[in-house]
Every structure is written in C-alpha cells, then in structure tokens.
Structure 1
Amino acid sequence: MKPDFPMIAAFVAGIMTLPVAQADNFHGKTGAMGGAGVASADLVTGMSLNPASLAAIREEQGFNIQLNAGALTSDEDDLIDNAEGLRDRLDVIDRRQVTLDDIQFVADKFNQLANKSLLLSAGASAYLGMPTSLGALAVHGKSELRLGATTEVDQTDLDRINDARDSANLIQGLVDQYGTDFSNYTPQQAAAVVSALQASGLLTPEQINQALATGSLDTIELLDVDDIQSEFVGRGAAVTEAGITFARRFQDTSVGITVKAQRVDVIEYRANVQNFDEDDFDADQYRADGSGVNVDLGIQHEYGNWRVGAVASNLMKETYTAPTGHTVTIEPRLTLGAGYRANGFTLMLDADANAYDNMITGQESQFARAGIAIDVFDWAQLRLGYKSDLKSVIADTTTVGLGFRAFGTANVDIAAITGDNDTVGAILQLGLSF
C-alpha cells in the first residue's frame, strides 16, 4: 500500500489535539521489558526508542498504527492525604484554643511529611509508520507529564511544635494534679504551679503571665498557626511533541532521524502547609510554557542473531523556567543498546551513557534497562523487564507483560510495573497494520 498523504496530514492534526501525556517509554511492548530496545525493538515500538528501528518496515506491510497509554505513581508515604489532614487540622486550630490532642496530631503529621515525596508519571502516544520508495516514514504525536510533590518542613517549625507538645504535657500534668483554675488553688498550690511553669524552660514569661491574667491554665496559647513557615511544593513538566521520522536500511545497518516540534509546560506550585490545595497545581500563576524544535538520531547494526544500537535524543539543549524560577532542561541523552534474537527468544540491554536532570527534583538520573521476551505459540509473547536508576534518585522497577497478535494485523500489549516506595503502574498498547 502506497502512502496516502492527505491521510497523514489528518492523522497529524488529530494527534496534535489529544489531551495526552506520555512518560519515559510508556509503550506496551518495550515498557514491559523495562524500557529496553534501542538495539532490537521491532518497528511497532522501535520508533519511540530508536528512529533506526523504523527501517524494518516492509513495503508489503503498508501502514502501521500504534496507540499507547499508561501511568506510574510512587506515594509510599501518602503525602497528599497527610498534607490535607494537616491543613484541615491547622484550619480548625486557627479558630479555637489548641488542645494537647491538636498538638500531638500536628507533630505526628509534620514528622510523617518531613523528607517525603510523591512522584507521578502518566501519558499516551500515537504513531503511524509506512514504507516509501526511499525508505520508511513515520509521524507521531506524544506528550509526557511528570509531577512530583514534597513538603519542605522548616526545622524551626519542628522545634516549635515539639516544644508546644512538651508544654502541653506539662500543663496537662499540672491540671491533673491541681485543676485548671487558679481561683481553686491555695496560695501554696498557685506558687507551685507558677514555679513548675517557670522551671520547665518551655514557656515564655508572656505565656505564664497570660495564665495568671486569665486565671486559667487552659488559656495559654501554645501554638500560633500563623507562625508556621513550612511549605508544600509541587513541581513538574509536561513535554508535548509532534514529529516525523525517516529511516533507511543499508545491508546490515539501519539509520534513522526524527525531527520534532516540542512544547514544554513547567510547573512549580508553592503554598504554606495550611493553605495547600492540590487543585491549584496547574493554576496559571504557577505555570509557564515554551516551544522549540529538536532532533533524534539513531543507528542499528546486525551481527547474525546479535544487534547493537545507539540513539542520541534531544540534540538541541533547551531550558524552560516556571514563574517561580524552577527550571526544566531538555538536554541531549546518548543511550547504547545490545540485543539477541533467536528461536522465539529476545534479550535486550540498554544503558544511558550520560546522566541528565530529573524534571522534578533537578537531581541527575542515569538508567540501565534489561528485558526478555518469549514467544508463546505464534500469537502471544510473555515479557519481563527491570529498570534501575544508577544515581538512585528514581525507584527501581520490575515489569511484566503480555502481548497478543491477531490475524497478523492487530496487536494488543499490556504491561504492569511495580517497584520500591509503593511504585505501581500499567501500560496499554493497541496497534493495527494494513
């Protein structure tokens, strides 16, 4: 089947309007193999990893369409739930006298939130590949969304809350022994209470004078919500792109190039913990966008059953900045791969040759990936994979997947992802060749 260029134009226009977000190789086949496949992924998913893979398409295959969607999340510490619980209790405390139970709750929540984080990736993509008289051609649209959240707990807040808890315990002990109201104390009891408050070193003279002036231990203000400085921070980026790939085979070597237009939305949300609202993450005041053009280059070579490959992605380095100053850099990445295929068995190994900034934390990540696939009969595949961040910033993940091919034209591929820090995810791929 020869290319229908009006169909191509309509396809590109359609995928450019999709409200999608793709993240770190969310493709049902290679995603189930840890994301490996630079050297030996087939053309069905190879375009997403190495443009040279597209050269494997044959003229008699005609068009090949692939749609992918998936999501991955890591929230071991229930960050959002704990942040919302803290915010709601602080809002209540701000309207009434703080209790020992309040202070204990706030202290527990601050300890649960300190040095904790949430990560979310989600997305989808669409590809259309076809043969031409000069080589193989493909168009694609994809986008990736990566969000992270953390609580930047101020040490002064922790010290203040711990002091308030100790003070509340002291006052509760005095109430249990003498009662709440000074009017019910004997002069000796009143002197003992004041002496205990002063000797503890936990209360300021102003707080002690407040109790004396009101005649009650219950009126001492132990925690002022307005003094809390800790912040909830959400960071992320959405990278949306549309591009065209051309690949050609020269005997045992294939080469490919992808030229793509990119739009990058950078997000940094900051709010005091008592004002946190997850629905404000994508508000305009926390988001900025920019656009550019980028290029990927790839090569593959076969040695019998063995294959090697390399891909240089995003050759044009660009930096994008949120209104708050948080930056995201799209930077070059070189990935090397090796693979083996024989008798229904496939092995893939990939490794990033350089580290690159994590879009959320700004820390560098550098991944190694491995995967295997085993043919089951003529219409199914079992896949396993593993992905590890050599910089230990992102949790390692293990993947498992199944692929089904019907009538030689349709494919359905699913993958499940699990990893450290309660990391879970899933990917679905649907494809059609005609």
Structure 2
Amino acid sequence: MRSTDSQARAHPLRNLTCSLGLALALGLPIQALGNAFTALDARSLSLGGSGVASTRPYNAPFFNPARLAGNPQVEGRRDELTFLRPYVGVRLIDRDGFLDALDQYQENDNSSRLDTALDELEQSLRDLDPNREDFLAVTTAGNALLDDYQNLSDKPLRLVGSGGMNVGYPSERWGFGAHQRINGAIGMEIRVSESDIAAVREVLDFIDFLVELVDADELPDDVDLPVLPDDFQSEFALQGMLVEETGLSLAAQIPGMRRTSVGVTLKQLRVETLDWRTEVDDAESDNFDREQQSLTYTDSNIDIGLTHELDEHWTAGLMVRNAIARDYLTVLGNEVRLRPVARVGLAWQNEQWTVAWDMDLNETEAVGFDPRKQFIAMGAEYRPWRWLALRGGYRHERVLEEGELSLGFGLAMRHAHFDLGVSTDGRDSMAAALQFGVRF
C-alpha cells in the first residue's frame, strides 16, 4: 500500500496563492529602468502615453525637458508659474492570462480531488472491493490537475509603478526643474518542469495499467499504489528592478532660433536589481531575503530633449532618454541592459484643444519577463472650461501588435491642479495614475 504521509503526495503548486501574494507584496511603486518609453503620470497616461511635444511643464523633466522653455500658449496663456507636482501610478500586466489560470486552478481544486480519489481507491483496495470507477476517478482528477499545471506554466505576471515629485519654473526663454522619483518593475512566473509533468504522467500511466487489469479481472489482492515524488523541480521565478532617481533639468531657447528650445536632465541613479528562483512550495515572503537576492549600483545618466514651434499651433519634439548605455547584472548573473530610447512627437494646440502623436524610433528591452516594446501613442485633450480638461488616447505596441485605450480628466484652478488617468486593453493590462499639485 502507498504511504499515508501527507508529504508523499504533495503537489508542486500547492502554494500558488502564497507565490502570488509575494509578488504583489514586492510590487513597490516602481518602474523598470530598461523598459519602453512609458510614463505613469495621470495626464500622459490618459493621452495614450503621448507627450514629447505636448507635455505640460510640470511633467517636462520626464517627457521632454525642453518643454520647460518656449511653451506654446495653453488655455490662452503661457505656463510661467513655479510648480510642485507629486504623482503616483501603477500598471498590472497579465498578458498570458496568469490570473485567470490561477483562478481556474483554485476553483477546480483538482489537487484536493486527486487526494480524495487516491484515498478512496486505497480504501477500496484495503476492503478488497476495487472497481473501475475508483481508478477512473484518480486518472480524471490527475489529468485535470496536469492541465491546470500546464496552464499556469511560463505565464508572467508583471507589476509596474512610479511615484515621485516634480518642481520647477518654466518660461518662454528658459526654465529649470528638479525631480525625485522611485521607479521600477517586478515580474513573477511559475516554471513547471517537464520532469515534474513526466513524473505525474508516470503515476497516471500506472493507474491506467491497473484499470486494464480490473477490466480483465486480473488485479492482484496486494497492490502498492504509486505516489507523486516530493522533490519536484518546478520553480517560482521573480525578477525586477528598483530605481531611485534624482534629477535636475535645464532648458533654454537656442540663440537666434526663437522657436526652438533644447533641454537636458542630469540624473543620479541608485539601481537595485532583484532576481530570485526557488521551489514553488518555498515561494513565501518569509523565505525572500532582499539582501541575498539583490545587487545595488550607483550611476548617472542624461536625457536630452528638443522642441520646435512650427507655428502658433504646431509643435514638434524629439527626446532621447538614458543617452548613456549601461549594463547591470542580477545576483543570478542575468544582464539588464539600459540603452538609449528615442522618441519623436507632434502636437497641435489652441485654447481648447490639444492633439498629440508620439512614436518610438527604436525597440527597447524590459525587466521582469516582459518582451521588447515599441510604441505609437496618440491622444486628445478638450478643455470646455478653463478649470476642466477631458482626455482620451490610444497606444499601439508594434512588436506584439497590441493596443490600449485610455481616459482621464483634469481639474484646475489658477494655483492648483488635480489629474486622474486610467488605461486598459480590455483583457490583460490595466493602469491608473493620479497627480496633484500647486502653482505659485
């Protein structure tokens, strides 16, 4: 007879809920250093992620520092007020349906069904009264459990976030700004090994063999039921990056070129990479030692921006973020590459409308099991009254051929402002951001 020790038939994904909880707990408000040209401030998020030519000065340190100078008129006036703007945003990406697979796994509860079927089969063998249905209950539950395992395997769940504060002073000829941000991303996935799948199938194949003996009335009285191994090779993997960024932005009109402004952002970075692999049943927050699973770097970089007012309504922009290429290693030897990200933008503005279009000029890499990205973003803002802005946008990702809609609004007084934005593709990605601040 098989062992009655509960560990003898432990299942490799029994602690999936704990694994997911760990990933969510570690999902600090951070955004990946090596990811695509995206932002989580409320205004640009609701405009589809556009902003190279249309960003307002209070977000210029991120989207285009040149916009701190030479601002086109908005709401009938230029933005020439000192600003202080904190913001926070978060994005959840479940591209391959991990959360749905997890919900299905928990709802099916095939692990418990298999345990129950094995217990009932063992009892019927002890009573010397086994029947075909007892064996089929085991194989049905076991095959269903295999399907659940395979549905969960290699489906990354990714959390992205950003939080910080921008301060500065814009004007027509020159401007400056400063910011403090905590940016980063974290991804997690379950990696079910082929050897574990083979071990479960071997057990089920033996049960099928016993069914054949039952059908032929040749089943012996003393049968030792097989058990699942307790040394599964399946892994829980977590990878991410935390970046603390302090920057100073300077912008000015180019002498002799009144319609053209240039800006630079000098950044000091504290980069922390996270990389952890462990057995699924050990994937609990108590087993995660941040000091052992992380490496920290202190570094610097620079962003360069350019804007040109084509006329009183049209503005073109160019932004190169992280102009200095950097490479960072994780504690497990994986490399996170930071490469320049270039984006162009075009915007049309009058007192009531802003229409913006942005395009990435190159593909960029990401951390946390996310593929390469290259975006086209577009958005529109309508101001029926000076105190209200209604926004909408669309973002298209060219590598994976994915799209995402966004909506948002802004409420403004002369010296205060509040913005809220949300976006989703309707399936596996959703984001929300808010920003508030004062001008004086």
TM-score normalised by the chain length of structure 2: 0.77
2:62 aligned with 1:48? yes
Contact 1:231 1:270 in 2 (8 A): yes
**Distance verdict in 2 for CA 1:63–1:80, change over 3 Å:** farther
Q: Output aligned runs, 1:240-251, within 5 Å.
A: 240-250=244-254, 251=258
Contact 2:80 2:172 in 1 (8 A): no
| CA deviation profile, 1:178-203 (whole Å, cap 9, x unmatched) | 9xxxxxxxxxx4xx236xxxxxxxxx
Q: Output aligned runs, 1:287-306, within 5 Å.
A: 287-304=294-311, 305-306=313-314
Q: Output aligned runs, 1:7-18, within 5 Å.
A: none
| CA deviation profile, 1:311-345 (whole Å, cap 9, x unmatched) | 11101111111111122122111111111113512
Q: Output aligned runs, 1:73-88, within 5 Å.
A: 73-75=92-94, 76-78=97-99, 81=102
Contact 1:74 1:421 in 2 (8 A): no
Contact 2:70 2:174 in 1 (8 A): no
- Provide the C-alpha distance between the structure 2 equivalents of 1:312 and 1:98, rounded to a whole number of angstroms: 66
Residue type at the aligned position of 2:361: A
Contact 1:410 1:432 in 2 (8 A): yes
Contact 2:392 2:406 in 1 (8 A): yes
Q: Output aligned runs, 1:130-279, within 5 Å.
A: 130-131=169-170, 135-171=174-210, 189=217, 192-193=218-219, 215-217=221-223, 219-226=224-231, 228-250=232-254, 251-277=258-284
Unaligned segments of structure 2, at least 5 residues: 1-27, 33-37, 72-76, 122-137
- Provide the C-alpha distance between the structure 2 equivalents of 1:277 and 1:88, rounded to a whole number of angstroms: 22
- Provide the C-alpha distance between the structure 1 equivalents of 2:86 and 2:65, rounded to a whole number of angstroms: 17
Match of 1:423 among 424, 429, 434: 429
Residue 30 of structure 2 corresponds to which residue in structure 1?
Answer: 21
- Provide the C-alpha distance between the structure 2 equivalents of 1:64 and 1:151, rounded to a whole number of angstroms: 45
- Provide the C-alpha distance between the structure 2 equivalents of 1:366 and 1:274, rounded to a whole number of angstroms: 37
Deviation at 1:47, TM superposition (A): 2.4
The number of aligned residues is: 376
Match of 2:374 among 345, 355, 366: 366
| CA deviation profile, 1:71-111 (whole Å, cap 9, x unmatched) | 11123332794699699959x97xx9797276346313312
For structure 1, which segment, 326-335 or 354-363, has the greater mean C-alpha deviation from structure 2 after superposition?
Answer: 354-363
**Distance verdict in 2 for CA 1:98–1:113, change over 3 Å:** farther
**Distance verdict in 2 for CA 1:114–1:137, change over 3 Å:** same
- Provide the C-alpha distance between the structure 2 equivalents of 1:365 and 1:276, rounded to a whole number of angstroms: 29
For structure 1, which segment, 121-130 or 149-158, has the greater mean C-alpha deviation from structure 2 after superposition?
Answer: 149-158
- Provide the C-alpha distance between the structure 2 equivalents of 1:389 and 1:277, rounded to a whole number of angstroms: 34
| CA deviation profile, 1:189-243 (whole Å, cap 9, x unmatched) | 4xx236xxxxxxxxxxxxxxxxxxxx533x32242131x2221211111122001
Residue type at the aligned position of 1:342: N
| CA deviation profile, 1:238-268 (whole Å, cap 9, x unmatched) | 1220010001124111110000001111111
Q: Output aligned runs, 1:60-79, within 5 Å.
A: 61-75=80-94, 76-78=97-99
Contact 1:87 1:274 in 2 (8 A): no
**Distance verdict in 2 for CA 1:123–1:372, change over 3 Å:** same
Contact 2:61 2:178 in 1 (8 A): no
- Provide the C-alpha distance between the structure 1 equivalents of 2:324 and 2:243, rounded to a whole number of angstroms: 14
**Distance verdict in 2 for CA 1:247–1:378, change over 3 Å:** same
**Distance verdict in 2 for CA 1:82–1:282, change over 3 Å:** farther
- Provide the C-alpha distance between the structure 1 equivalents of 2:176 and 2:120, rounded to a whole number of angstroms: 67
- Provide the C-alpha distance between the structure 2 equivalents of 1:246 and 1:151, rounded to a whole number of angstroms: 45
Report 1 or 2 for greater relative contact order, CA contacts < 8 Å, sequence distance ≥ 6: 2
Contact 1:28 1:413 in 2 (8 A): yes
| CA deviation profile, 1:141-180 (whole Å, cap 9, x unmatched) | 11212111122222232233234334335546756x69xx
The root-mean-square deviation of aligned C-alpha atoms, in Å, is 3.2
**Distance verdict in 2 for CA 1:133–1:430, change over 3 Å:** closer
Partner SS, residue 364 of structure 1: coil
- Identity value in percent: 24
Q: Which has the higher helix share?
A: 1
Residue 326 of structure 2 corresponds to which residue in structure 1?
Answer: 318
Match of 1:336 among 335, 341, 344: 344
- Provide the C-alpha distance between the structure 1 equivalents of 2:110 and 2:297, rounded to a whole number of angstroms: 36
TM-score normalised by the chain length of structure 1: 0.78
- Provide the C-alpha distance between the structure 2 equivalents of 1:343 and 1:42, rounded to a whole number of angstroms: 14
Which one has the largest radius of gyration? 1
Residue type at the aligned position of 2:42: G
**Distance verdict in 2 for CA 1:358–1:153, change over 3 Å:** same
Deviation at 1:300, TM superposition (A): 0.3
2:419 aligned with 1:413? yes
**Distance verdict in 2 for CA 1:280–1:151, change over 3 Å:** same
Deviation at 1:379, TM superposition (A): 1.1
Residue type at the aligned position of 2:246: A
**Distance verdict in 2 for CA 1:130–1:59, change over 3 Å:** farther
Deviation at 1:282, TM superposition (A): 6.2
Contact 2:365 2:372 in 1 (8 A): yes
Unaligned segments of structure 1, at least 5 residues: 1-18, 179-188, 195-214
Partner SS, residue 168 of structure 1: helix
Residue 404 of structure 1 corresponds to which residue in structure 2?
Answer: 411
